[in-house]
């Protein structure tokens, strides 16, 4: 267990990757949003999608967590399981921290009616429909999911190479389009939207968590036979 | 030299590693004894790194059995933490400074010695405030060497650790390794193709060629396996007739001929009587010849008729 926790410290050697870059992206996209909101001469509430930026960056963090640190972990005589669990714990910590920032930010935005500009970066009505903790749950899971997607793709790349990864990604694309086609043919759009609406943010997030767990499981099975 | 009964720390049986179209390791079996220094010698691509990777569970065998401290090393933290293997092409976290690498090694190697690490940093004049990815090839090798020595792991692997190191730095490595080995004995497996440079360091020779073990012997015994007979050409030729010659050189009417096989007392008397000299064979030369011999590249010439 101790060695697994030490993997967290190993990952955090990349302070730039795990700490500074997400903070720069968060601060930068926040400042840009505010500047844009200030320029819009409308009194209605202004919402934007800039808060996604740090979450998408976690995709890159997930890739780097494997490609940069896995070979070094092997030289440190760390087992693959220890590396895997330690890395997921690290991303979990990062996700919870990020979600906490978003929760506090959203509460401040509600209290100040959008920084006096009526412009919202953290507070998006759909995300906040179940309150601050619902929103925190959403952001933490999205952060984890994107990290895991990056980590999953990187393990496939590391073990099977770029061609296989590309084939897998293209196949997933076909699968999604196929599902879309099925949904259109069966005339299920309305049902799908109703389902999303009833599931709400917490329900949808819970399903995202299931997806994250499945990908994490595949990543572990792939990593078990990966050579640094 | 050997006083205590030997204890085996690594056992390899029938180890094979096959890549799509090449066989990197071909049905290899050997054992490694505790607290001795091994030279894993062989040409580039002979399979040295592959063997070390499999022993440390960084890579996987196609077939065969590997036991370290009596157990399988794969996903076995109890075994792995007692070993240290820094690759020749080791990658480090992108932002890492040498100090980060050493601080991390300290977390994972239970016998890590910080004082020793600090001293080695000074010896190798390693810049501690420069990112590892910006270091020169030699400085990069020094990072690996420092982790290897200071980890004091019970089994330590060095994979051609001298790449990019100058002669002075290489000597520092050999000296410090031997000093610290005396203070904290451990099993060392050192892969190298600078054979003569490590000849005085290694106690046992493990020669690997084309994925097969050609030799696993005491260094001293290997040296005794052949001798250089030097002197007047006619007398040398007379002496080597009927022996297995692996190399010959002549300059004017003086010849130096390397013959395989330990010399008997009778041989030595004959050499002295013929006015010839016996010169030691360099380990490198002997291993190079043996390797070529095994591959039939440079067929040795059998002198005279077989008796």
Query: Which is more confident, B279 or B190?
Result: B190
pLDDT reported for residue B3 = 53
Tell me what pLDDT residue A14 has: 82
The kind and range of the H/E element at A107 are: helix A80-111
- Mean pLDDT of the region A49-57: 93
Which residues on chain B are in Cβ contact (under 8 Å) with A13? 93, 95-96, 100, 104
The alpha carbon of B131 is separated from its chain's Cα centroid by a whole number of angstroms, namely 31
Which of the four pLDDT bands, split at 50, 70 and 90, describes residue B50? very high
Cβ distance B176 to B123 under 8 Å? yes
What confidence score (pLDDT) does residue B299 get? 46
Tell me the per-residue pLDDT of B129-160, one tens digit each, with 9 for 90 and over.
Answer: 999 999 999 999 999 999 999 999 999 999 99
Closest to B91 (Cβ–Cβ): which among A71, A81, A225?
A71
Q: Where in chain B is the domain with CATH 3.40.50.300?
A: 8-222
- Least CB-CB distance to B95: which of A14, A71, A76? A14
Q: How many CB pairs under 8 A join A and B?
A: 83
**B167 in contact with A at a CB cutoff of 8 Å?**
no
From A6, A74, A228, residue closest to B107, measured CB to CB: A6
In this prediction, residue A135 has a pLDDT band, given cuts at 50, 70 and 90, of very high
On whether any CB of chain A is under 8 Å from the CB of B20, the answer is no
CATH number of B8-222: 3.40.50.300
pLDDT of residue A43: 84
Distance to chain A for B161, nearest Cα, Å: 14
What is the tens place of the pLDDT at every residue in B228-251?
Answer: 999 999 999 999 998 988 888 999
Task: Look at B77 and A228 and tell me if their CB atoms are within 8 Å.
Answer: no
More confident residue, A142 or B162: A142
pLDDT score of B4: 59
Q: Which residue of A has its CA nearest to B83?
A: A77
Q: Where does the pLDDT of residue B288 fall: very low under 50, low under 70, confident under 90, or very high at 90 and above?
A: confident
A181: closest CA of chain B, how far (Å): 40
The C-alpha atoms of residue B210 and residue B205 are separated, in whole angstroms, by: 16
pLDDT bin (cut points 50, 70, 90) of residue B302 is very low
A227 to B107: CB separation less than 8 angstroms, yes or no:
no
Return residue ranges of chain B for CATH 3.30.70: 224-302
Calculate mean pLDDT across residues B94-121. 96
pLDDT on residue B297: 62
Q: Mean pLDDT for chain B?
A: 91
- Residues of A with CB below 8 A from B76's CB? 79
Note whether B87 contacts A: Cβ–Cβ < 8 A: yes
pLDDT digits (tens, 9 = 90+) for A95-128: 999 999 999 999 999 999 999 999 999 999 999 9
pLDDT higher than 50, residue A42: yes
pLDDT at A190: 87
Asked if the model's pLDDT at residue A38 lies above 80, the reply is yes
User: What is the residue whose two structure tokens read 């895997």?
Assistant: A84
How confident is the model over A86-94, as a mean pLDDT?
Answer: 95
Phi first, then psi, for residue B14 (nearest 5°) are: 60, 35
- Cβ neighbours of B132 (radius 10 Å): 21
CA closest to A69 among chain B residues: B93
The answer to whether A13 contacts B104, with C-beta atoms less than 8 Å apart, is yes
DSSP bridge pairs for B206: B40, B216
Which is more confident, B20 or B151? B151
Indicate the residue of B80, B87, B101 with minimum beta-carbon distance to A79. Answer: B80
pLDDT in tens, A153-185: 999 999 999 999 999 999 999 999 999 999 989
Element (H, E) at A143: helix A131-160
Q: For residue A83, what are its two tokens?
A: 């590396």
Looking at every residue in chain A, the average pLDDT score rounds to 94
**CATH of the structural domain B224-302, one choice from 2.60.98, 3.30.750, 3.40.50, 3.30.70:** 3.30.70
């Amino acid at each position: 267990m101790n060695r697994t926790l030490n993997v967290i410290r190993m990952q955090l050697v990349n302070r730039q990757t795990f700490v500074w870059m997400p903070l720069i992206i968060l601060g930068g996209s926040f400042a840009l949003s505010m500047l844009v909101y200030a320029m819009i001469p409308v009194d209605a509430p202004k919402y934007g999608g800039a808060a996604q930026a740090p979450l998408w960056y976690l995709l890159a963090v997930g890739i780097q967590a494997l490609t940069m640190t896995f070979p070094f972990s092997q030289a440190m005589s760390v087992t693959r399981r220890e590396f895997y669990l330690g890395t997921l714990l690290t991303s979990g910590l990062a996700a919870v921290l990020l979600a906490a920032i978003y929760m506090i930010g959203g509460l401040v935005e509600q209290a100040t009616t959008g920084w006096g500009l009526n412009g919202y970066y953290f507070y998006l009505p759909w995300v906040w429909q179940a309150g601050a903790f619902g929103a925190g749950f959403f952001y933490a899971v999205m952060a984890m999911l994107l990290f895991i997607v990056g980590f999953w793709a990187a393990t496939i790349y590391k073990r099977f190479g770029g061609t296989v990864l590309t084939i897998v990604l293209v196949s997933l694309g076909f699968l999604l389009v196929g599902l879309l086609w099925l949904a259109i043919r069966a005339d299920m759009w309305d049902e799908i939207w109703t389902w999303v609406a009833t599931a709400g943010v917490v329900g949808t997030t819970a399903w995202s968590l299931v997806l994250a767990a499945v990908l994490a499981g595949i990543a572990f099975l792939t990593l078990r036979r990966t050579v640094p | 030299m050997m006083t205590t009964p030997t204890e085996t720390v690594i056992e390899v049986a029938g180890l094979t590693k096959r890549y799509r179209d090449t066989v990197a390791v071909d049905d290899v079996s050997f054992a490694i004894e505790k607290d001795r220094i091994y030279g894993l010698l062989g040409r580039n691509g002979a399979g040295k790194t592959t063997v070390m990777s499999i022993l440390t569970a960084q890579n996987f065998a196609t077939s065969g059995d590997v036991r370290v401290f009596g157990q399988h090393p794969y996903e076995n933290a109890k075994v792995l933490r007692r070993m240290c293997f820094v690759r020749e092409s080791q990658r480090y976290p992108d932002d890492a400074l040498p100090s980060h690498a050493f601080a991390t090694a300290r977390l994972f190697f239970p016998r890590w010695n910080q004082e020793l690490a600090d001293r080695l940093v000074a010896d190798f004049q390693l810049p501690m405030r420069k990112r590892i990815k910006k270091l020169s090839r030699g400085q990069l090798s020094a990072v690996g060497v420092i982790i290897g020595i200071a980890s004091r792991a019970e089994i330590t692997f060095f994979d051609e650790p001298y790449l990019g190191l100058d002669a002075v730095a290489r000597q520092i490595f050999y000296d410090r390794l031997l000093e610290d080995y005396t203070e904290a004995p451990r099993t060392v497996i050192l892969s190298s193709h600078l054979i003569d440079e490590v000849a005085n360091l290694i106690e046992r020779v493990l020669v690997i060629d084309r994925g097969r073990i050609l030799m696993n012997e005491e260094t001293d015994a290997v040296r005794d396996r052949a001798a250089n007979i030097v002197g007047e050409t006619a007398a040398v030729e007379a002496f080597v007739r009927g022996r297995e010659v692996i190399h010959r050189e002549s300059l004017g009417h003086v010849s130096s001929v390397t013959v395989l096989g330990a010399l008997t007392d009778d041989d030595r008397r004959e050499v002295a009587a013929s006015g010839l000299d016996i010169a030691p064979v360099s380990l490198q030369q002997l291993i190079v010849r043996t390797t070529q011999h095994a591959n039939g590249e440079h067929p040795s010439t059998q002198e005279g008729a077989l008796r």
